[in-house]
Each structure stands twice: as C-alpha cells, then as structure tokens.
Structure 1
C-alpha cells in the first residue's frame, strides 16, 4: 500500500526517530583517529585494513529500503483540469544493506537525483511523493535520516574566508558529540586531512571561485567529503563524489568509500561516467531509466542479466558506459529507444534478479537483543545550543575580519560622505535661514545612515542562505543560534561606523556644541543605523535572491522616508497613513535629532525682512522670525517631550524587525 511521504513530525506515525549510534559504544566512535596512516596522495593497504578493523566496531549496522516510490510534478490549481501530473519516478523499490556500496546510475533524466532527494527527504517542495522509506524495517522521517546519515552533495558550498582546517574545526564542534575531547577532535581532523590529501592545503583559505582565490576545485570536493567523514556516520549519501577530481584521486575517494562500507556503513552514491577501475569498486548497482528500475543487484550480475536480454558488453569496454548506452534515449529515435527501455524495465521486474534484489515491505537485516535495542532519538543536534552559538560566532567573526575589502570600503564610504556633507553644510549660522539648513542636515544624517546601513546588510542572508539551509538540514545547528551569532558578529561594525560618521559630521556642520547633545545625537544615529540594519536583515531573510532584495529595498524605504517629518509636515499626514508614520524609523529618528538640537537653544538671530505665520497650539501667531529652538520644534509639529519615546520606539523597531527577520529565516529553514 502506498503511504504518503511525510515531512518532519507532522505525521504521527513519523513522530519518533531513532539513532542506532546512541548506545554504550558511542565513545568508541572516534578511536578511528589511530586507524589511518596516509599521506597526501595515497592510502596504503595496511592503513586501509586498519580502517576496516577499527571501524567495524564503532557503529550499529543500518539497512535502508524504499518501497513503491512514485513521484509526480505538482500541478497548480489553475492548470489542474488541463494538465495531468507528470511522473518522475514509477514504482521504484530497492534496498541497500550495511556493508554495501551502491552506485545509482542512469542517463540524464533517468531520475537519479530525484530518488536521492526522496531517500534523504530533501528538496521535495515542488514534487508529490508517494511510498515509504525505512531504516531497518522501521518507518523513517527527516530527523531519523539526518541523525543517522551524512550527505555529500555535488555543489560545494563553503564560507570562503575560512581555512581548510578552520572549516573542519567548526564542523567538528557542531557535528561531533559534545563530550568528545578536544584532543580527539584534533586527531580526527588531522586524520581526515591526511586521508583526503588535504594536509598541505590545511592552512590555505578556501576562497570563492568567482572572487577570492583559494584551494582548487578538486580540493574543494575533497573538503566536502572530509566534512562528512568527521562524524563517522552509519549511512552516507554521495551525490557525484568524484566530480571535479582527477582519475587517481577519484579512485582514492571511492576506495575510501569501499572501506567505510566494509566497516559496516551503508553507502549510496549517484555517479556519472566512472572509469572502469572506479566502477568495479562498487558492490551493488542500481540502474535507472525513464524513472524506473532497469537493474538492481550485485555489480557482477549486471553483465549476466543484460546477456539474458541479448545485450552483450564488448570485451575491453567500460561496463558503465555500456549500460548507459543501452538505457539512453537517442535524439531523433525517441520512440524506438523508449520502447526498448520499457522492455528492459518490464523484463527486469519479472526476472529472478528483481525477486532477489527488490525487498519486501520489511527489510530488516538485523535482529537486536534487548540489551542492544535501538534507542529513540528525538533531537538530531549533536551539540548544545551554546556550543553551536559560540562555534557560529567564531566562524562569523573570522568571516567578517577576513573581508578587508568590504571593511575598508565601508570605512572609506563613511569618512568620505561625512566629510563631504560636512563641507556642504560647513559651520551653519544659527539664524532664520540656518533653521532650514540645520533641519535639512539632520534629516540628511538620518537618511544617509538608513540607506548606507540597510544596503550594507541586505545581501547578508541571501548570499549565505544555501550554506545555511544545507547545514541546518544536516542537523548541525539551530536557526536561533545561527541568527544570533550572525547579528553579534556584525554588530561592532554597525555600532562604530555610525559613531564615526557623527564624530566627523557633527562639529563640521556646527550643530549644538554641548557634549550631552553630541553624545545624544551619536546614540540616536546608532539606533537609526541599527534599525535600518534590522530592516535590511528582514528583507534579506524574506527573499532568497540578491537582485530581488536590492530591488525591494528602495521603494519600501522611500515610503518610510516620506513620513519622516521633513518632506511632509508631521501634522499633514493623511489620516489613513498615520499608522505608517508610526512604523517609520525616519520619523522617530528625525524628531529625536530635532529635539536634541533645538530644545535648549534660547535665541535665534532674526532678520526683519522675514515674515512667517505659523499655527501653534490652536493660536495664530504672526511674527517676523522664529525666536528660539522650542518654536522650531513646534513649527515642525514635534513635541520636545517625545525624546524618550522616540529612543524607545527605535529600540522597539530594532527588536521587531529582527524578530520578523528571524521568523522569515525560520520559515525558510523548514523547507527541506
């Protein structure tokens, strides 16, 4: 019977997850550090045997089975009557047991990646999945698979500012059990570096392929593999593990996979065009064609099965190339080749090979005694929240400190704009014409700090979102730990730069010369800058694309700016937009700066040719000038009693925008 595939804990039958590794043998998990003796290029036969000997006792075996998997594209409500769901996988069943190294192969579009996504319960939001996936015969969910497995994905995503060793140190902190000693972690890291040939590049910055030079593409692939080997998982999923590697290193990587499987792990790989030497290392083979199973079983029996179909592999011919050739849809001859593929799949389903390889609904390979009964594991995280937070804060701090171009650019921009505006508004006179100029300078201060800081962070989460989603879905850390660490790592910049701007701008313009007024202005400016940052974080978490984030930010900020009390008098805001004024940090920041500037100015020089009529407190007063600072405040329909309220409102907006950013990021994290 088909069972609707469930995500997370929504389905009660998926409520409990278990981790066979959580038992008395867990402390043995990292004794492997003594088992490997390798150099940067080759793993010796002796060390490989040692790997198998040592690792065979450190994990409980786990078998993985999947039953009657059917996958369809989602059809929108608008097109449901016109378009039927397109099948991607059709009645796919299989099983891979502990100690087996299975290769999933097939031509482009055969369904390899979709099947891998179903097995790992990732990237399923755009498809409809039916069927069941089981671990040791028990229903699996996303948490249980995450707790038991490691997933080496094809795309290499790293924080480019870290070195290879620093990346592995971070991984060890958040992925290895928290009671593991630092010495054991260090030994494990060194062992993995040697095993994957990364010792010489261990202190090299990872870099960014499109920007900062770092390690090579092959080294990036090996680093992705090393990251997963740290945790010594029971199941490993590898998506194109040899992609980007030369033939020798590809062979070495697959040999390591073979030895890991021999030690009791269950390993599933998708692989594309392996060499004949690499291909023969796999113990089992799953051939996919047009979303169906064309063959499943032992590698050596595949030739035998195809021979029964009258398809013979030539001598001195790579068997993997032969299988792909037989199962590929040839352009210009689609109908004939598709009929051939359907025939191969149908004949396999009725063959003894299928009966031997395709599991029944129960695929329980191991029977545990009461003493070895699997324990329930509800929490997929290996480390506590505080360990995750400090590890993320350390990584984020390194990332910020190692972006000297960005830091220098931000400092240069702050100094340049502050000095430029300072000269434009140089030493304004405290007279009637100076009132407008000073108020303009104050509003320009608010505007510049807002746009500069919002744009500085609006790309932050967009850029790191793929890395965050991958790491979070791997059970490495909680959303709250990541979000808070990111905020705190960047906080010093957005505290110091606004203060630097005010320190240069304030006295050049000739604003209120009192020390208290200067410090208050600096405080308000820092709050305005951080409110804008919080808004930028929210936009960054809300969108997944940098272009969309940059396009969305200006019009929303301009809407806030209009209600700041400079372009539109505070008393002239339409009643249906009053609510918008009260969520605009431009309004609170501008009012606070105006109050701070004018509330203790008791005399303003007057020119007799000025004639100003203003309505103040329900009385019409005709005067030749605005006599003092309090009158300036009333002219703008601000209240000098609102200074504390404005500062409190800015603090509240910082909290609100960051809370909204966290909710947006948390929502994205639930999409696997």
Structure 2
C-alpha cells in the first residue's frame, strides 16, 4: 500500500514511496493520466471504475426521492418587503415587538414550493428549469439539506431510501451558490489544498485495501499510474495529488499560484473563482 511503480525519465520504471512523492513526480503522474482535460478525464475515470468492477466492487450510487415537498415562509410583502434602510430598522423593531406579543409582526405566509415530487436517478444529468421566483434554488437547497431553519418544510426527502435524519447529505451532495466566498489572500492552490486536508482520506484507504486484496487473489495487475494515483489519494500527507488533479481538469493550472482576491485585492477572474468553488465542492464529495 505504501509502494508504487512510477514511470520516470526516458520511460524508466522505478518503485517509489507513495508518501514521498515530490512535486515533479506528482506533476508527471497527472500529466500522464490527464494530458488534456477535455479528452482524457473521462477515459481516466472509466479506468478507475473498470479497476473496481473487475474485482466485483461497485461504485456507490445515490438515488434521491422527494415526495410531497412543501416549503413555506413568513415574509413582509409590499413596500415593507423592499430592501431599504428604513424598512430594515422598522422590521427589526416589529420583530422585537412581535416576539413580546405586543403587536402582530405583519408578515404574510408565502408558499415557495407546493406538493413537489420527483426522483433524481444516479448516472444521469438532470436539468431544472423555471422562471425567476419559482423555487428552483429552494428545491436544490432542500435536496442538499441546506435550507434555512426559519422556513417551514413538510414532505419527505430520501437518499437511497434513508431520511435526512439518518443520512448525511453533505457527504454525497453539494450546492454551488451564486456567490463565491473565498479567502482573498490565499492562492488557488492553497485554497484547494486546504480543503483537501480538511476532508482527509475518509474511507478511501479501507476501499483500496480491499481492492488490492481482491486483485492479489485474482492475480490481476492494475495500471501502474492508476494504482499510484489511488494509493496517493488514500494516504495522509499526499493531498497535493488530488489538488493537482482538480487544478488540471478545471483549467486552473494557469492561475494556480495567483491569489484568489476579493473586493480589496486583485486576483483571479470571476469565472476562475467559480471554478475554484466547483473544485472545493468536488473535494467535499471525494
């Protein structure tokens, strides 16, 4: 588990310590696996899947069901709902008086979603369309388990038949919002590496141990590059491998060592920030 076969210079082959992979070795590994993200990434992912399926290990899949989902809120309507400074303070005062049962809050019930049902099946891409204000964002937040606690929710959302109380949707789904919130003084590489370290290796080590055991029993030799990659992302201290992979497939290599930036610090473009957010969400699901 700690050793791997890595192609060196001039097509030489050498055994390496997975925990001792250097920056150039990681770069060469990712370059061989995914030379062109648009063309090679799918081929690489198929190699990962095929390696597991050859020994009878199925990739976990998630099927999401939502039944009779209702989301309701109480909000100020009309002129009271306009985001103005005077309304902000007057609404705060009304909230306090309402909490003391002195006056009614003046809020009106608003139905965001009403009796929505559907299924999101694995290995498929679903497109959600609707006019502004139709509840698209609220539906996605409900499925990701990130709805505001002040909203009134009824109905049922299940992941593989498990209710939200018995399942952690944040480990299998994520919501990419409209606003990209990052630490402006960190570079793109540092941002992704930080999230990779926070996530840890999870269950990947146990899965790879079982995979290696079955391959030995079946006398199957894995692809050397795929084997090194899977071992590297399954041991502590080699989070840079998955970071380099994310940088490659999202086209962020060109700005990897540039600060993300914010309103006060010049950094990467808005599109690149969205790619960084997507990369972070990808790391959360690994």
Looking at structure 1, the residues matched to 284 and 183 of structure 2 have their Cα atoms a distance apart, in angstroms, of 20
CA deviation string 1:601-658 (max 9, x = no partner): xxxxxxxxxxxxxxxxxxxxxxxxxxxxxxxxxxxxxxxxxxxxxxxxxxxxxxxxxx
**Among 77, 82, 86, the residue aligned to 2:110:** 86
Length, aligned pairs only? 197
Corresponding residue of 1:230: 283
**1:146–1:129: structure 2 CA closer, same or farther, 3 Å change rule?**
same
Corresponding residue of 1:236: none
Q: Which runs of 5+ in 1 are unaligned?
A: 1-31, 234-672
Alignment of 1:149 onto 2:146: no
- Output aligned runs, 1:401-412, within 5 Å: none
Corresponding residue of 1:48: 42
Looking at structure 1, the residues matched to 251 and 107 of structure 2 have their Cα atoms a distance apart, in angstroms, of 51
Deviation at residue 123 of structure 1 after TM alignment? 3.6
Deviation at residue 83 of structure 1 after TM alignment? 6.4
Alignment of 1:181 onto 2:249: no
Corresponding residue of 2:163: 139
Looking at structure 1, the residues matched to 175 and 48 of structure 2 have their Cα atoms a distance apart, in angstroms, of 23
Q: Give the strand-richer structure, 1 or 2.
A: 2
CA deviation string 1:28-87 (max 9, x = no partner): xxxx96995144xx511x43233234247474111011110111113786548x765221
Alignment of 1:105 onto 2:129: yes
- Output aligned runs, 1:264-663, within 5 Å: none
User: Equivalent residue of 1:106, what SS?
Assistant: coil
Looking at structure 2, the residues matched to 149 and 196 of structure 1 have their Cα atoms a distance apart, in angstroms, of 19
- Output aligned runs, 1:106-121, within 5 Å: 106-121=130-145
CA RMSD between the two structures: 2.8
User: Equivalent residue of 2:186, what SS?
Assistant: coil
- Output aligned runs, 1:182-221, within 5 Å: 182=236, 184-208=238-262, 210-221=263-274
User: Equivalent residue of 1:227, what SS?
Assistant: helix
Question: Which TM-score applies when normalising by structure 2?
Answer: 0.61
Corresponding residue of 2:34: 37
Give the conservation status (yes or no) of the 8 Å contact 1:118–1:124: no
Looking at structure 2, the residues matched to 66 and 228 of structure 1 have their Cα atoms a distance apart, in angstroms, of 22
Alignment of 1:66 onto 2:66: yes
Structure with more contact order per residue of length (Cα contacts < 8 Å, sep ≥ 6): 2
Deviation at residue 185 of structure 1 after TM alignment? 2.0
Deviation at residue 207 of structure 1 after TM alignment? 1.1
Looking at structure 2, the residues matched to 121 and 232 of structure 1 have their Cα atoms a distance apart, in angstroms, of 14
Question: Which TM-score applies when normalising by structure 1?
Answer: 0.27
CA deviation string 1:114-167 (max 9, x = no partner): 111211222423321111110111212396111322332221010111111111
Q: Give the helix-richer structure, 1 or 2.
A: 1
User: Equivalent residue of 2:129, what SS?
Assistant: strand
Give the conservation status (yes or no) of the 8 Å contact 1:67–1:131: yes
Deviation at residue 219 of structure 1 after TM alignment? 0.7
Give the conservation status (yes or no) of the 8 Å contact 2:41–2:249: no
User: Equivalent residue of 1:105, what SS?
Assistant: coil
**1:189–1:83: structure 2 CA closer, same or farther, 3 Å change rule?**
closer
Looking at structure 2, the residues matched to 200 and 166 of structure 1 have their Cα atoms a distance apart, in angstroms, of 14
